[in-house]
Amino acid sequence: MHKKKSIKELFTFLKKSKIKAGEGLEEGKYPFYTSSNTLSKYLNYYEIEDESLIFGTGGKASIHYSEGEFSTSTDCYVIQPKVVDEIDLKYVYYYLSGNMRILEEGFRGAGLKHISKKYLRTIKIPIPPLQTQKRIVEVLDKAKILIDLRKKQIELMDRLIKSIFFNKFIQRVDEYKSWDVVEIQDLALKNKDSMRTGPFGSNLRHSEFVDEGIAVLGIDNAVDNVFKWKERRYITEEKYMELKRYTVFPDDVLITIMGTTGRSAVVPKDIPKAINTKHLACITVNKGKVSPYYLSYSIHSHPYILKQINSKSKGAIMNGLNLTIIKELKIPLPPIELQKEFGKSYLEIQEKKKQFENILFLLKNNFNSLMQKAFKGELFN
């Protein structure tokens, strides 16, 4: 077993930043770290340089590694090594990334939990010889490069879909002006309940969910703007017969109306028998007028619709969407053939993206396996 030393012994804590997370920009010269697990903000100046580890202090455990200039929000702790010839900082980053429970156990308090500097200082890090640390980092770096490349390919797939959408429907200015503008309710089938939300209140309780049966769709199935199976919820066949009016059909458009609102996805053609919860609006569209893929993508990405949603939300008592707002949203209606072209491209790209995601899943499993072996001392035996 390797000797262990505490973060207090190995590292210096830098003075906390006074920059608020909301000051971050979508684009900028330097990374701006907040308490989020994801780096998504930037600034045009930096406060810190040199190799560092960044810990988010509020919400959920997060850790970042930086070897250049950057800034952080007030919700972060930053540490730098006291002695560089004893510890490889990136080795520590990989060790804690692979053992996030160590950080998670430090989050305390009611409501939004926080981790303290006192707790971080007590964390023990196993210290193999520096050469071994560097070998571990080298192996994990190579594995991580493959993961990052695959993530970049997936990101490019999303950007390609967005580019196709904007080229077909936003930037064709002359054609755009000649398209009819209709309300979304005009694009639903004229059947009763072609636009609906799920059962409310006592009509469907959490206690009525079972381990198998008829699927129940929720926010998690549409929150990524593409349909995904995540948490599985089911009701019995008997309960389904009571709630049959909330049945979801292939090519229906789902819209999140609570929690993270305004996300949208198209129900896949191979959907089993299912209903939706009250957290989703569901639209069975008239495919002679509109492609479900055009409508769904427009709801979460068309500037014309986003402006309306933002305007209507400002006057609302609570953040969220409701069926009345959705029905009255206006949308430009391109020729159906143009919409179908987009739908075809969308499905082809999503299929390719799914292949990349499957490979990414395998790469992450391999990376996690390498980390576990590395920190058990099994990697170079």
What total number of domains does the chain contain? Answer: 3
Backbone angles phi, psi at 263, to 5 degrees: -85, 155
Mean local confidence (pLDDT), 316-327: 76
189 and 282 together in one domain: yes
Q: What is the pLDDT of residue 7?
A: 96
Which DSSP string corresponds to 217-232? E-GGGTTTSS----S-
Whose tokens are 């980092």? That residue is 137
Backbone angles phi, psi at 140, to 5 degrees: -70, -35
d(CA 196, CA 210): 24
Q: What is the pLDDT of residue 313?
A: 67
348 and 238 together in one domain: no
d(CA 116, CA 108): 9
Count Cα neighbours of 161 within 13 Å in the Cβ-side half-sphere.
Answer: 26
d(CA 156, CA 159): 5
d(CA 380, CA 108): 37
- Cβ-proximal residues to 81 (8 Å cutoff; 6+ apart), any chain: 10, 11, 12, 51, 87, 89
35 and 114 together in one domain: yes
- Cβ-proximal residues to 101 (8 Å cutoff; 6+ apart), any chain: none
The model's pLDDT over 200-216, given as tens digits with 9 standing for 90+, comes to 878 888 889 999 999 99
Instruction: Kindly give the residue spans of alpha helices, DSSP state H, lying in the chain.
Output: 7-10, 89-97, 100-104, 117-122, 130-169, 173-178, 237-242, 292-301, 303-314, 323-328, 336-375
114 and 133 together in one domain: no
d(CA 353, CA 155): 9
114 and 147 together in one domain: no
The model's pLDDT over 302-318, given as tens digits with 9 standing for 90+, comes to 999 999 988 876 544 44
Q: What is the pLDDT of residue 243?
A: 95
Which structure tokens are listed for 274? 């299912």
Mean local confidence (pLDDT), 319-324: 82
End residue of a domain, out of 127, 148, 163: 127
307 and 189 together in one domain: yes
Higher pLDDT, 205 or 72: 72
CATH number at residue 233: 3.90.220.20
Average pLDDT, the chain: 92
End residue of a domain, out of 127, 159, 188: 127
Q: Strand 52-56 to strand 76-81: parallel, antiparallel, or no bridges (unpaired)?
A: antiparallel
12 and 50 together in one domain: yes
Mean local confidence (pLDDT), 244-268: 95
d(CA 184, CA 191): 15
pLDDT(104) > 60: yes
d(CA 372, CA 136): 11
Burial 55-65 (b: 16+ CB within 10 A, else e): bbbbbebbbbe
Domain hosting residue 244, numbered range: 180-333
212 and 292 together in one domain: yes
Count Cα neighbours of 28 within 13 Å in the Cβ-side half-sphere.
Answer: 19
Q: Please state the pTM of the whole predicted model.
A: 0.81
Q: What is the pLDDT of residue 231?
A: 86
pLDDT(380) > 80: no
205 and 322 together in one domain: yes
Lowest mean pLDDT among 5-14, 96-105, 304-313, 348-357: 304-313
Higher pLDDT, 287 or 320: 287
Q: What single DSSP character describes residue 36? A: S
220 and 298 together in one domain: yes
Mean local confidence (pLDDT), 349-354: 96
Backbone angles phi, psi at 234, to 5 degrees: -140, 155
pLDDT(53) > 50: yes
The answer to whether the beta carbons of residues 61 and 104 sit under 8 Å apart is yes
Residue percentage of the chain with pLDDT more than 90: 82
Q: What is the pLDDT of residue 97?
A: 93
118 and 133 together in one domain: no
pLDDT(79) > 90: yes
The model's pLDDT over 136-195, given as tens digits with 9 standing for 90+, comes to 999 999 999 999 999 999 999 999 999 999 999 998 767 778 899 999 999 999 988 899
313 and 342 together in one domain: no
